[in-house]
Amino acid sequence: MSEQEKKSRELPRWAQVSLLVILGLVLVGALVLAFRPGPVEVDLAAVERTTMRVTVEEDGRARLQDRYVVSAPVSGTLTRVQWRPGDEVEVGQELTRLRPSPSPLLDDRSQAQARTRLEAARAELERARSMEEVAEAGLVDAREEVRRQEILLEQSGGSASAVERARAVLQAREAERRSARFGVQVAEQEVANARLLLERAPDGREMDAVPIPSPVAGRVLRVMQESEAVVQPGTPLLEVGDVANLELVVDLLSADAVRVRPGAAAEIERWGGDRTLDARVRTVEPSAFTRVSALGIEEQRVNVILDLTGPRDQWTSLGDGYRVEARIVIWEETDTVVAPASALFRHNGAWFAFRVEDGRAREVEVEVGERSDVEAQILSGLEPGDRVILYPGDRVADGNRVDVR
């Protein structure tokens, strides 16, 4: 090829420069695209208008509203108790029998003192009866005097003041008769007590056993004294109660208890059944108590009492002392804007969230009302249908491109 032909095929100088510039721009653009950060992968959730509840959850236990401890009325020998926990009993049904201990023997001096006391009590009884007769006679005279003064007043031979005086005397005589009757009753009891000191079961004869009845219809809860034994007055023997009359006791932190109101709805879960039970708060006890937590921290706890409101057949297997888990509603709104609590974060004392617009994160300030563990009430800043970023990390900033994970 000639020199002339080689020169004709070479590009002009300006074309060579333009080609180099274009190649440089392409290289720079490729580097920019290669090192430009990509969109941040995030999790999104929608803001909704719905019903929101704020609840407090805590463990509790079921207990009988009324339990009865049957105890020995007197000292004596208790017969063997045949009842077992869970047995059903009726009102007045015999639970066991108690054979009272015989009276102790008295020595000669004590017997003489007891006889003297008995004779004195009998004499006092006779005196009280005599006083009752005197009071009865005085009452009859007072009634006759009132009737006579009333007749004189009707015949213009008496005065109204005399009638009033007679009536006042009649009231005094009635009070004296009542007092005399009470005196007779007291004297009769003194005679009975004095006679008991001299009475005892003859040798070789057992005293009649005293039946101990059930005070309520229900079930036997515990048997404290099963075997035959000599017991003293007040010794607990059995515990009975109506298992259908259950209540729930939930101890809350005092900071949570102040927000609970009587009548608040509650749900009972993890009690062993296959359904959630409905309950309602009856009362919040006004006094707190101290309990040490598993971490060794002293906590002020308050007992909240709940009543089961569902049908009895839903919780027939629930018994006294059984563990339950209660969720008590402390606030509820049926129509409000709700956002996930995990989408909110604090900055300079205010609440913020990242709303996604056209594939980019936009930081917005929001006003928060009530909050729970999973959601929050939005008063302003977000609208239903907005998509917000859950758990925004350090890579998320205002204006960053985002992509759904």
pLDDT digits (tens, 9 = 90+) for 225-240: 888 888 888 899 999 8
Measured at the CA of 99, the angle between CA 95 and CA 103, to 5 degrees, comes to 150
Number of structural domains found in the chain: 4
CATH (domain of 96): 2.40.50.100
Q: Determine how many CB atoms are found less than 10 A away from the CB of residue 385.
A: 9
Residue 86 lies in a domain: yes
Helix intervals (H) in 47-107: none
Does pTM top 0.85 for this prediction? no
Residues with Cβ within 8 Å of 301's Cβ and at least 6 positions away in sequence, in order, are 251, 252, 253, 254, 288, 289, 290, 291
Residue 301 lies in a domain: yes
Question: In whole angstroms, what is the distance from residue 194 CA to residue 102 CA?
Answer: 16
Q: How confident is the model at residue 102 (pLDDT cuts 50, 70, 90)?
A: low
Q: Token match 């956002």: residue?
A: 339
Residue 207 lies in a domain: no
Helix (H, G, I), strand (E, B) or coil at 385: coil
Residue 222 lies in domain:
68-101+214-241
Question: In whole angstroms, what is the distance from residue 187 CA to residue 245 CA?
Answer: 45
Q: Are residues 301 and 324 in the same domain?
A: yes
The pLDDT mean for the chain works out to 83
Q: Are residues 96 and 222 in the same domain?
A: yes
Q: How confident is the model at residue 120 (pLDDT cuts 50, 70, 90)?
A: confident
Q: How confident is the model at residue 155 (pLDDT cuts 50, 70, 90)?
A: confident
Residue 340 lies in a domain: yes
Lowest-confidence region among 86-90, 165-169, 204-208, 362-366: 204-208
Residue 34 lies in a domain: no
Q: Are residues 222 and 280 in the same domain?
A: no
CA 167 to chain centre: 58
DSSP bridge pairs for 238? 70, 223
Angle between helices 108-154 and 160-198 (to 10 degrees): 160
Residue 2 lies in a domain: no
